[in-house]
Amino acid sequence: MSQLFSATQIGKLALENRIVIAPMCQYSASEGKATAWHRIHLGQLALSGAGLLIIEATAVEAIGRITPGDLGLWDDETETALRSVLEDVRAYSPVPIGIQLGHAGRKASCAAPWQGGHQLALEQGGWETVAPSAAAFHENERPPVALDRDDLARIKQAFVESAKRAEGLGIELIEIHAAHGYLLHQFLSPLSNHREDEYGGSLENRMRFPLEIFHAVREAVSESVAVGVRLSATDWVEGGWDNSQSIEFSKQLEAAGCDYVHVSSGGLSPQQSISVGPGYQLPFARDIRKEVNIPVIAVGLITEPKHAESVLQEGTADLVALARAVLYDPRWPWHAAAELGAQASAPPQYLRSEPHGLKGTLKANH
């Protein structure tokens, strides 16, 4: 029996397999509003046979967008646009849908990657950014404004309101984005957090605001909605955030009622030095999983079905997330089922697509 295609649960959310489609920024929204691109993009991924589909990083306020094209969920207009997309997706796919809520902090106000990814000047449509401290990501960039207490309260409330909107859209899982150098990661790392109040300095203090955000979101939504956290296990920079701190953060999250942790890495500093290869982040997930009892999702250049299966068989993680691999092959779960002798869900319209010799590896979704 394939573990990759075995049923599991995150919080109260039942999943038919352990394949997760990770959040992937598309930079294709209009003033935060989902567009036809999202209907096409999420629609095809919803037919993939994965156990869970997580919508891309979605800003809780306009200045929290990485780029002007980032998806948002901060007002009635952004909510209505996303509702329209989700209604179409759900008409043809029963896949559980999650959303990643985030705030870019000092990494906001940038051009899309295919436009260079540089920080946008104010006259180019950029905006003033915010962060724990007035330290820019790149030395030549506009420094962010250091957040005061009123700002922290506003951002916390923005996460709460976005979470409530997500639940109102029928979204079944909320992932709080504390990875990849964005705002909550900026609080966690001593490289970006130079505060001298109770939100800076010690590990306990640096974890305080991300934990406050988690508590606030968890309390704002129903118990039936799973709430988890995406974290960067390490900054890949000497003296920065590392996996020992990530383990402590994960323990604190578990104690607070977190349903899972999704383990990535990097993104906080241009000084990062990463040796990238298949499964390069798996040791971090494995070490965290040894210390917590909640599900751990592993991600990071896991592209082959047998590799994904081995991650679970060896106890490295409880679920495996795919990002670029599933953009390249939106039917990855179908092909994995065929390779591993399992079954994946597919729309009845597509059941006859099975090649001869692989009949029975697809089953109708309901």
Q: Which positions are annotated as active-site residues?
A: 182
Please name the residues in contact with 119: beta carbons below 8 A apart, sequence gap of 6 or more: 109, 110, 111, 126, 137, 138, 141, 142
Q: Which residues pair with 261 in a beta bridge?
A: 229, 296
Cα–Cα distances in Å, from 343 out to 4, 282, 328?
A: 10, 26, 21
| The two structure tokens encoding residue 60 | 């809780």
Instruction: Check if the beta carbon of residue 278 is closer than 8 Å to that of residue 302.
Output: yes
Distance CA 13, CA 11 (A): 6
Distance CA 161, CA 172 (A): 16
Q: How many residues does the chain have?
A: 366
Name the CA dihedral angle for 210, 188, 112, 161, rounded to a multiple of 10 degrees: 10
Instruction: Check if the beta carbon of residue 63 is closer than 8 Å to that of residue 16.
Output: no
Question: Is the C-alpha dihedral spanning 166, 168, 171, 172 positive or negative?
Answer: positive
Please name the residues in contact with 24: beta carbons below 8 A apart, sequence gap of 6 or more: 56, 323, 324, 327
Burial label, 352 (beta-carbon count in 10 A; 0-12, 13-18, 19+): exposed
Distance CA 167, CA 223 (A): 11
Distance CA 267, CA 249 (A): 18
Query: What string of DSSP letters covers 149-210?
Result: HHHHHHHHHHHHHHHHHHHHTT--EEEEEE-TTSHHHHHH-TTT----STTSSSHHHHHHHH
